[in-house]
Amino acid sequence: MSNIAIYLALLLGLLGQAGSGAPAGKSSSLDYDYFKTKVQPIFLAKRTGHARCISCHVVPTGAVFQLQRLSPGETTWNDEESRKNFEAVTKLIALPGNPKSPLLIHPLAEDAGGDFFHNGGKHFNSQNDPEWKTLKAWIMGQTGSTQARN
Whether this model's pTM surpasses 0.85? no
**pLDDT greater at residue 24 or residue 62:** 62
**pLDDT greater at residue 42 or residue 116:** 42
**What is the rounded CA–CA span in Å between residue 7 and residue 4?**
5
- Split at pLDDT 50, 70, 90, the class of 23 is very low
- Stretch 29-34: mean pLDDT: 94
Backbone φ, ψ for residue 96 (5° rounding): -55, 145
Quick check: 133 pLDDT over 90? Answer: yes
Quick check: 86 pLDDT over 80? Answer: yes
Quick check: 46 pLDDT over 90? Answer: no
Length of the chain measured in residues: 150
Average pLDDT, the chain: 78
**pLDDT greater at residue 35 or residue 121:** 35
pLDDT at 5: 47
Quick check: 8 pLDDT over 50? Answer: no
Quick check: 13 pLDDT over 70? Answer: no
Q: What is the dihedral of CA 46, 33, 139, 78, to 10 degrees?
A: -50
